[in-house]
A and B are shown apart, each in its own frame.
Chain A
Amino acid sequence: MRPTSIAIRHWVFAFILSLIAGFSTAVHADEAIFQGGIENLLAKSFNDKTQGAQQIAESGDDRAEQILKALLDRQLFSTKSDKTLVFFDKDTDATQAKQVVSGEILPVTDVKSLQRIRTNNKMRGVIKRLIANIQLSNPDPVKRLAAVKEIMGKVTSDQIDAVKTLSESEPNAEVKREMETLVQLSELQSSDEDVVKAAIIGLKGNMNQQVRPKLEDLLTSESAEIAASAKTTLEAINKKVTWYGHLETLFFGLSLGSVLVLAAIGLAITFGVMGVINMAHGELIMIGAYTTYTIQHYIMPNYPGVSLILSIPAAFVVAGLVGIIIEKTVIRHLYGRPLETLLATFGISLILQQAVRSIFSPLNRSVETPEWMSGSIQINEVLSLTLNRLYVIAFCLVVFAALFIVLKKTSLGLQVRAVSQNRGMARAMGVKASKVDAMTFGLGAGIAGIAGVALSQLTNVGPNLGQSYIIDSFMVVVFGGVGNLWGTLISGFSLGIANKFMEPYAGAVLAKILVLVFIILFIQKRPRGLFPQKGRAADS
């Protein structure tokens, strides 16, 4: 037996539902309509099926929500033998299905004996709204909120009356506000001028996406008073929206900047500190990304989150080792010969790309994004920050700080700086310069590998991953000032932000070109970048 309170709630909910659905006379669940709906769901055409879903919602039957949800979650099937609807969830239990109408359990021996009730895009849209209608009276305020948002702007006049009634008894302030917005939006189209005026005032400062277009329609209203009032409200809202728009662009810029910094920071060491023009830098990033893929796919396939965190040290080690091998075998023979280094490392980059093609296939590999990195934080109606970008910004700052500490506070860092500033003097002081070179290059390569882990969450993991970042990386390092870590940080972020502020006006292609032209001009004026290295070593 169910507790009575639930039974009552169901009754109330059926009542409200029937109101919403426009069947104000039918208080009890209508069995005939429900049956008709079930029949229609078994039909072939999507239009019939959509009608079936609507009928099931209209019938006010207790099972309606469950059926519609199963339809949306692809868990509603029909038996091929006698066309009965069943709930079936392969993932939890592939051996049995539950009949929709009778509730009986049906053993499933062969999955192929069942046929899924297919839905299409439009149908799922309708189903979502039907479920939202039902969930308007769900006890969970989160669900009610989602429900109001779902049906916002897509409601009939009957439904609005129902929402109005609901909003009066709504305990949750946020849900109540949304419900009122919904009602006010519809009141904007009212023929009664006073209602329209009141609604406009009620919508003051409301940044809901539906509000502005509706207010814009009112600008041409016959009543001058309404037009003026709509205009002031609209302008106030637009101002607010523009302001948040700038904030959003700033966030986009920071996030693009953090990607640039991450990609460039390893190069800031190999190119900036050591002076090696390393064209294979992008491929070291790619190796980091492939390490992530390998760990996630082969070593711990079911833990995308943990494997991602483990990938960070793993990618550092793998890319770092590859870097050391490259240094030991090729680059050390070419110190002081930048042109040959450029050609040799370009060759290495092609070798690494083709090696990855041969080992992993030329196809892109999919790296899963863990649950906690997907989605976004909704600040308000117009501003939301995507989580994966937030993590990458934070990650970039952490990597930068760690690298900074290594260079400034450890003995390795001291030796690296000593060798890069005055090689002969450092050797005279007992520093093994060749070993330090290898370690430095390894460090730069390892950092590139770590960048690869972050990039695997944002873009493709494929053989061409590195190529897309090599130019940007050089740009950032050169612009920031060769040999200066702070310069790399500042230049990465400023280029990112500049790019994103230009993009809306110039388009993605032109924005990139403009940034490049700007850097070329800038380098003409200040060949050593934003933060040139000072001192005798830099002049030599």
Chain B
Amino acid sequence: MKKQFKGVLASVVTAGLVFGATVASAGSHSAETIKVGVLHSLSGTMAISETTLKDTMLMLIEEQNKKGGLLGKQLEAVVVDPASDWPLFAEKTRELLTKDKVDSIFGCWTSVSRKSVLPVIEELNGLLFYPVQYEGEESSKNVFYTGAAPNQQAIPAVEYLMEQGVKRWVLAGTDYVYPRTTNKILEAYLKSKGVAEEDIMINYTPFGHSDWQSIVADVKKFGSAGKKTAVVSTINGDANVPFYKELGNQGVDAESIPVVAFSVGEEELSGFDTKPLVGHLAAWNYFMSVENDANAEFIKKWKAFTKDDKRVTNDPMEAHVIGFNLWVQAVEKAGTTDTDAVAKAIIGLETPNLTGGIAKMLPNHHITKPVLIGEIQEDGQFEVVSETDGTVAGDAWSDFLPGSKDLVSDWTDPMNCGNYNTVEKKCVGAVAAK
């Protein structure tokens, strides 16, 4: 009881008075359970995206318990609320690992929260499953990246647009680590494909930017030079609504200047007025609209679990499903929840994803994923217009950045290193210098 009280108190201090947030450990504490930490913001800015993932985890754990649990024990979710506060992510991780003694953690959304957790999870030797598409350039012994690396989302999207005849590129992003790194990779990639410097326009805006008039006017001007132009958007969720609205109002439609977004999914679209977005593109590894038995069943379960017939599913949810299933398999294979044994057992394991393919955990702690390009529909769903044949293996270190193209990650023997330099033939260390 004391622990529960403290958990609540902590979030009260940080988030003011929290109304109705379910910050408590679910179920009773008995020695006979395997504990799963759920580290997602339930209040603050990121609650918009992360609350859904917490619910997904609770659903998966409930389902596994119905099947008889794991290793003969019941699973128990330990939910904490890091309140969109990056340093608090580290504190909560420490709390989960030292006080609650969880066996694995599923959590984080933003890259900055993951970077904040990283030193703690490595120090205390825990396991983190990270479900969101990210900028790559990282491979930790203790983290499993079930979201897309840039070569599983950004680069295939740009390739698709090139096939569609796009010659001029606007790389627009919110000013933080994910867009900056992704755009650096994309810029290098585009240049390697012969795109000239003056055909690339890069623009950064602050978080939650809402006045897009000048930028859209610039994009329009940039796109009027006679070459087919597209916008590659790493604009963070919230700022997208005014951006697309401004595009619509200034008469830029999806046919003249298409926008491909990496942060707009079904969940975000449910809060948008979709009219100005129709026909624009998004690149993900999963869409709710993919017709498939596994997906249909998952959607049905999700709607039943949330008791809401209108709830949508999205890509990071699928990543958690894959991550959780792989972890369950790994624990069963290792016969224990011990971090090192599970981390060793999980490599090479396979589980079906929700779009009809197979997700395999690779030695670099990334997984194989199909890449889907979808066009936004009026009802907030995506219509797939392009998909890769089979799956693409996630690449931790981009081949297009000078600092990382010689690096590889392989957590199996004999290399056992997250950033092995193939030229100097040595392991650089935990985190490579940028």
Binding site for B on A (CB under 8 A): 46, 118, 120-122, 124-125, 128, 153, 209-210, 213-214, 248-249, 252, 255-256, 259, 346-347, 350-351, 354-355, 357-358, 362-369, 374-376, 384, 386-389, 458-460, 462-464, 467-468, 500, 503-504, 507-509, 512
B21 within 8 A of A: yes
Report the nearest B residue to A364, measured CB to CB. Answer: B271
Contacts of A46 in B (CB 8 A): 385
Interface size on B, residues (CB 8 A): 59
- Please determine whether B214 and A121 come into contact, CB atoms closer than 8 angstroms: no
Q: A460 touching B205 by the CB < 8 A rule?
A: no
Q: Which of B17, B214, B251, B254 contacts A350 (CB 8 A)?
A: B17
A-B contact pairs, 20 of them (CB 8 A): A118-B385, A121-B281, A121-B375, A128-B255, A213-B226, A256-B213, A350-B16, A362-B51, A366-B273, A369-B275, A374-B249, A375-B251, A384-B250, A458-B245, A460-B208, A462-B238, A463-B48, A467-B208, A500-B214, A508-B214
Distance of A394 Cα from B238 Cα, bound (Å):
26
* Inter-chain pairs besides A358-B20, A388-B245, A508-B204, 8 sampled, C-beta below 8 Å: A46-B385, A124-B255, A357-B43, A358-B21, A362-B43, A460-B242, A507-B204, A508-B203
- Contact A508 B215, CB 8 Å, known A121-B279, A210-B224, A365-B271: yes
**CB of B28 within 8 Å of the partner chain:** no
Do B242 and A459 touch (CB < 8 A)? yes
User: Which residue from chain A places its CB closest to the CB of B384 in the assembled complex?
Assistant: A118
Select which of A118, A121, A504, A508 is within 8 A of B205 by beta carbon.
A508
Q: Residue on A with the closest CB to B255?
A: A125
Q: Given A248-B217, A256-B211, does the pair A376, B204 have CB atoms closer than 8 Å?
A: no
Out of A153, A209, A354, name the residue touching B17 (CB < 8 Å): A354
B217 contacts across to A, CB distance below 8 A: 248, 252
Contacts A351-B16, A354-B18, A358-B21 given; does A249 touch B214 at CB 8 Å = yes
Among A210, A500, A509, the one with the most B-chain Cβ atoms within 10 Å of its Cβ is: A509
Closest 6 pairs between A and B when the two form their complex, measured CB to CB: A350-B16, A364-B271, A209-B224, A362-B47, A459-B210, A386-B249
Known A350-B16, A460-B241: A387·B249 in contact at CB below 8 Å: yes
* CB atoms of A118 and B383 under 8 A apart: yes
Kindly report which residue of chain A lies nearest to residue B380, judged by CB atoms: A366
In the complex, B423 has a CB within 8 A of chain A: no
Of all chain B residues, which has the CB nearest A468? B208
Is residue B225 contacting chain A, with contact meaning CB distance below 8 A? yes
CB–CB A386/B250 < 8 A: yes
B241 touches A368 (CB 8 A): no
Q: For the complex, what is the distance from the CA of A118 to the CA of B383, rounded to whole Å?
A: 9
B250 and A376 contacting across the interface, CB-CB below 8 Å: yes
With beta carbons under 8 angstroms apart, the residue of B48, B205, B226, B246 that contacts A362 is B48
Hey, which chain A residues are within 8 Å of B273, CB to CB? 366-369
Residue of B204, B225, B250, B270 near A363 (CB, 8 A) is B270
- Separation of A464 and B43 alpha carbons in the complex (Å): 11
Q: With A259-B211, A358-B20, A462-B238 as given contacts, are A121 and B15 in contact (CB-CB < 8 Å)?
A: no
The contact of B165 among A122, A354, A500, A507, by CB within 8 Å, is A122
Q: How far, in Å, is B310 (CB) from chain A's closest CB?
A: 11
Interface check B5, CB cutoff 8 A = no
| Contact A508-B209, Cβ < 8 Å, known A210-B226, A366-B271 | yes
Contact: A468 with B210, CB < 8 Å?
Answer: yes
Question: In the complex, what residues of A have CB within 8 A of residue B68's CB?
Answer: none
Q: Which residues of B contact A351 (CB under 8 A)?
A: 16-17, 19
Q: Which residue of B lies closest to A373 (CB)?
A: B249
Let me know if B95 is at the binding interface, CB within 8 A. no
A444 to B107 Cα, complex, angstroms: 42
A351–B267 Cα distance when bound, in Å, is 25
* Bound form: Cα–Cα A357–B271 in Å: 13
* Bound CA–CA A362/B43 (angstroms): 8
Residues of the A chain whose Cβ atoms lie less than 8 Å from the Cβ of B175: 509
A374 contacts B164, C-beta separation under 8 Å:
no
Task: Tell me how far the C-beta of A441 lies from the nearest C-beta in chain B, rounded to whole angstroms.
Answer: 21
Task: Give Cα A444–Cα B125 distance, bound, in whole angstroms.
Answer: 54
Beta-carbon contact of A354 and B279 below 8 Å? no
Shortest Cβ gap from B165 to chain A (Å): 7
Distance, CA A402 to CA B96, complexed state (A)? 56
Question: Within the assembled complex, what's the spacing in Å between the Cα atoms of A21 and B238?
Answer: 45
Write the chain B residue with the least CB distance to A464: B45
Q: Given the complex of chains A and B, what is the CA–CA distance between A316 and B273 in angstroms? A: 24
Closest to A387 in B: B249
A460 touches B204 (CB 8 A): no
Whether A214 and B214, one on each chain, are in contact in the complex, defined by CB atoms closer than 8 angstroms, is no
Type the 1/0 row for B360-401, where 1 means its CB is closer than 8 Å to any CB of A.
000000000000000100000001011000000000000000
Give the residues from 143 to 189 in chain B that come closer than 8 angstroms, CB to CB, to chain A: 164-165, 175
The complex places the Cα of A146 from the Cα of B250 at a distance, in Å, of 16
Contact B225 A213 (CB under 8 A): yes
Q: Select from chain A the residue with minimum beta-carbon distance to B207.
A: A468
Judged by a CB distance under 8 angstroms, whether B82 is at the interface is no
Q: Shortest CB–CB separation between residue B173 and chain A, in angstroms?
A: 11
* B218 at interface, CB cutoff 8 A: yes
The distance from the CB of A74 to the nearest CB of chain B, in whole angstroms, is 8
Q: Nearest B residue to A209 by beta-carbon distance?
A: B224
Indicate with 1 or 0, residue by residue over B58-91, a CB within 8 angstroms of chain A CB atoms. Answer: 0000000000000000000000000000000000
Determine how close the nearest CB of chain A comes to the CB of B199; give it in whole angstroms: 12
Given contacts A121-B164, A122-B165, whether A354 and B271 have CB atoms under 8 Å apart is no
Distance to closest chain A CB from B244 (angstroms): 11
Contact partner, A120, options B213, B245, B385, Cβ 8 Å: B385
